[in-house]
């Protein structure tokens, strides 16, 4: 049994869904369970609808919902059996009527709570999963739809809910696996429900996480992540368009580092359930299914290159904290991180000396309050418009002179921070946002002049 997750671009239209049906049909002997994202940019459109509603723009919100309804009707009815068309039309009408009722409620309330965000953003996957299930049957694939909210049980941290794994795995094994023995199961990614039954979401990109949870829960032999690129690349395609090389094989640990530091191809949490159950993850391109993609496996992958890939995270903020009063005193770091914890702001990188700490954040929403608190016992300087460039590779730990090669490649580019050692798999530097592209280009040229053919394409 395998799990196949298809992202928004893979199910963005009737044509794209037909392509997905062909991919799934080729894998029927492996008893696939299919997890889908919302169609195209539907989630963004739903959030735009919510924003209009709470700003009192009732008619604009309704008009946007009607446009979204027309899109889903137009694309879905092209790939639905005649005998099922009435059923699908009824589902779409009822679902969009619910959405419009929710919009009217938001107009009255004038505010958007985390629970309301989950309620409105869940419609994308609720719609796409039903549409894809109907389409599969249209293309001759025996299919059954299962609402993810019935089996993915989460806590109540709306917009970023965490799955309650013991109960979720129990439901997946008892309700999904038996059905998948006979039919292709289609589920929506990203969404779940609290123990009280309220709709919840796993956060943006959470469809990957759903696929990994489902794979772990049903004991899959493989989890496939189908996207619109050929796999993991040696460099971010947004920075190096067409210049990166495909990585054939990478470890879970390396993939997790890359995901955390900005690689968009995998949700950062995706690999955790797969890692725990030792299920390989296979990243593939739904537009080019003949390409072998990237396999993510448990064991470290030997590679002649020190670096497997370069990830980057732009628009981060560096916070410099200095206090001579804390010289030879204990508790400095505790006081600093207690403030960040209280304001629920995660930290990416940290460098320290006796009386100074520099750290980076990519969520500056509470930074003004944090600086005010820190200023009670330290001098604080904030530098926005910075970027992290992260070199990832299991071989970094065994290869001398990597840091020297990094600084030589960067030449005259000013490096604000450097971190190596917290993870044996990465070396990260902070540079100005203006120097990001130049830095990635220089480092990619330095570390990928020659390629190990067993690892890179």
Measure the N-to-C terminal CA separation of the chain; round to a whole number of Å.
28
At residue 457, the 3 state secondary structure works out as: coil
Residue 337 lies in a domain: yes
Residue 270 lies in a domain: no
Same domain for 11 and 108, yes or no, is: yes
pLDDT of residue 412: 86
State yes or no: pLDDT of 348 exceeds 60.
yes
Residue 273 lies in a domain: no
pLDDT of residue 326: 56
Same domain for 89 and 213, yes or no, is: yes
pLDDT of residue 381: 95
Q: pLDDT confidence of 333, banded at 50, 70, 90?
A: confident
Q: Tell me what percent of the residues of the chain surpass a pLDDT of 70.
A: 97
DSSP annotation of 176 reads: I
Over residues 250-275, the mean pLDDT reads 80
Burial of 454 (0-12, 13-18, 19+ CB in 10 A): exposed
pLDDT of residue 87: 94
Q: pLDDT confidence of 253, banded at 50, 70, 90?
A: confident
What does 114-175 look like in DSSP terms, one character per residue? Answer: HHHHHHHHTHHHHHHHHHHHHHHHHTT--EEE--GGGT-EE-S-TTSPPB-HHHHHHHIIII
Same domain for 360 and 218, yes or no, is: no
pLDDT of residue 258: 86
Same domain for 207 and 313, yes or no, is: no
Over residues 432-441, the mean pLDDT reads 96
Question: Does residue 156 or residue 329 have the better pLDDT?
Answer: 156
Same domain for 38 and 178, yes or no, is: yes
Residue 388 lies in a domain: yes
Q: Decide if 218 contacts 177 (C-beta within 8 A).
A: yes
Query: Quick one: tokens of 67?
Result: 């446009």
Q: How many CB atoms lie within 10 A of CB 295?
A: 18
State yes or no: pLDDT of 138 exceeds 90.
yes
State yes or no: pLDDT of 308 exceeds 90.
yes
pLDDT of residue 176: 98
Considering 212, 228, 244, which residue would you say is the last residue of a domain?
228
Give the CATH number, domain containing residue 400: 3.30.2130.10
Q: pLDDT confidence of 52, banded at 50, 70, 90?
A: very high
Q: How many CB atoms lie within 10 A of CB 53?
A: 27
pLDDT of residue 104: 93
Same domain for 187 and 323, yes or no, is: no
Same domain for 60 and 203, yes or no, is: yes
Same domain for 350 and 203, yes or no, is: no
Question: What is the per-residue burial (b if ≥16 Cβ within 10 Å, else e) of 159-169?
Answer: bbbebbbeebb
Of 332, 449, 317, 292, which Cα lies nearest the Cα of 385? 317
Same domain for 193 and 95, yes or no, is: yes
Give dist(CA 379, CA 420) in Å, integer.
26
Over residues 164-185, the mean pLDDT reads 97
pLDDT of residue 275: 87
Q: pLDDT confidence of 217, banded at 50, 70, 90?
A: very high
pLDDT of residue 250: 92
Q: Decide if 127 contacts 72 (C-beta within 8 A).
A: yes
Give dist(CA 455, CA 92) in Å, integer.
46
Give dist(CA 292, CA 301) in Å, integer.
17
Q: pLDDT confidence of 265, banded at 50, 70, 90?
A: confident
pLDDT of residue 244: 84
Q: pLDDT confidence of 455, banded at 50, 70, 90?
A: very high
pLDDT of residue 22: 97
Residue 292 lies in a domain: no
Q: pLDDT per residue over 72-83, tens digit each?
A: 999 999 999 988
State yes or no: pLDDT of 270 exceeds 90.
no
Q: What is the mean pLDDT of the chain?
A: 92
Over residues 12-19, the mean pLDDT reads 97
Give dist(CA 178, CA 173) in Å, integer.
8
Residue 176 lies in a domain: yes
Q: pLDDT confidence of 329, banded at 50, 70, 90?
A: low
Over residues 322-339, the mean pLDDT reads 78
Give the CATH number, domain containing residue 130: 3.40.1160.10
Over residues 397-422, the mean pLDDT reads 89
Give dist(CA 371, CA 364) in Å, integer.
11
Considering 171, 199, 228, which residue would you say is the last residue of a domain?
228
Question: Does residue 412 or residue 409 have the better pLDDT?
Answer: 409
pLDDT of residue 422: 64
Residue 133 lies in a domain: yes
Residue 9 lies in a domain: yes
Considering 204, 228, 252, which residue would you say is the last residue of a domain?
228
Give dist(CA 446, CA 108) in Å, integer.
58
Quote the number of domains for the chain: 2
Question: Does residue 327 or residue 87 have the better pLDDT?
Answer: 87
Same domain for 199 and 107, yes or no, is: yes
pLDDT of residue 256: 83
Query: Quick one: tokens of 49?
Result: 């609808």
Q: pLDDT confidence of 447, banded at 50, 70, 90?
A: very high
Same domain for 221 and 84, yes or no, is: yes
Same domain for 184 and 36, yes or no, is: yes
Does residue 31 come out as left (phi exceeding 0), alpha (psi in the -120 to 50 range) or beta? left
Q: pLDDT per residue over 355-405, tens digit each?
A: 789 999 999 999 999 999 999 989 999 999 999 999 999 888 888 899 999
Q: What is the largest distance, in Å, between two alpha-carbon atoms of the chain? A: 78
Q: Tell me what percent of the residues of the chain surpass a pLDDT of 90.
A: 79
Q: Decide if 250 contacts 308 (C-beta within 8 A).
A: yes
Range of the domain at 63: 2-228
């Amino acid at each position: 049994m395998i799990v196949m997750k298809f992202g928004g671009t893979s199910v963005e239209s009737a044509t794209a869904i037909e392509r997905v049906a062909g991919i799934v049909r080729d894998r029927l002997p492996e008893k696939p369970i299919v997890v889908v994202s919302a169609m195209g940019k539907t989630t963004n459109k739903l959030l735009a609808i919510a924003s209009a509603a709470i700003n009192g723009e009732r008619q604009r919100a309704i008009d946007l919902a009607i446009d979204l309804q027309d899109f889903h009707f137009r694309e879905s009815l092209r790939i639905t059996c005649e005998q099922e068309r009435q059923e699908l039309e009824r589902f779409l009408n009822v679902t969009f009527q619910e959405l419009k009722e929710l919009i009217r409620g938001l107009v009255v309330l004038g505010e958007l709570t985390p629970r309301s965000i989950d309620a409105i953003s869940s419609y994308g996957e609720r719609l796409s999963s039903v549409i894809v299930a109907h389409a599969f049957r249209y293309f001759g694939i025996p299919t059954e739809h299962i609402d993810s909210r019935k089996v993915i049980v989460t806590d109540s941290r709306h917009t970023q809910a965490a799955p309650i794994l013991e109960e979720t795995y129990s439901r997946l094994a008892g309700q999904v696996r038996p059905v998948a023995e006979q039919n292709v199961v289609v589920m929506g990614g990203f969404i779940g429900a609290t123990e009280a039954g309220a709709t919840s979401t796993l956060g943006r990109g959470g469809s990957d996480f759903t696929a990994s949870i489902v794979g772990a829960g049903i004991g899959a032999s493989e989890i496939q992540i189908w996207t619109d690129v050929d796999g993991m690349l040696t460099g971010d395609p947004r920075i190096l368009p067409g210049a990166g090389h495909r990585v054939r094989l990478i470890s879970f640990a390396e993939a997790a580092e890359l995901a955390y530091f900005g690689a968009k191809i995998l949700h950062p949490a995706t690999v955790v359930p797969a890692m725990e159950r030792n299920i390989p993850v296979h990243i593939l391109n739904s537009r080019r299914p003949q390409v072998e993609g990237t396999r993510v496996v448990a064991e470290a992958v030997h590679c002649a290159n020190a670096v497997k890939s370069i990830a980057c995270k732009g628009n981060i903020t560096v916070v410099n904290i200095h206090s001579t009063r804390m010289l030879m005193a204990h508790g400095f770091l505790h006081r600093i991180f207690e403030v960040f914890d209280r304001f629920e702001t995660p930290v990416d990188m940290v460098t320290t000396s006796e009386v100074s700490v520099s750290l980076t954040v990519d969520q500056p929403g509470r930074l003004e309050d944090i600086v005010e608190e820190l200023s009670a016992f330290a001098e604080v300087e904030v530098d926005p418009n910075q970027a992290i460039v992260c070199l990832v590779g299991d071989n970094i730990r065994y290869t001398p002179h990597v840091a020297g090669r990094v600084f030589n490649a960067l030449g005259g580019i000013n490096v604000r921070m450097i971190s190596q050692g917290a993870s044996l798999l990465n070396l990260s530097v902070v540079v100005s946002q203006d120097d990001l592209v130049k830095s990635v280009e220089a480092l990619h040229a330095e570390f990928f002049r020659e390629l190990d053919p067993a690892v890179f394409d």
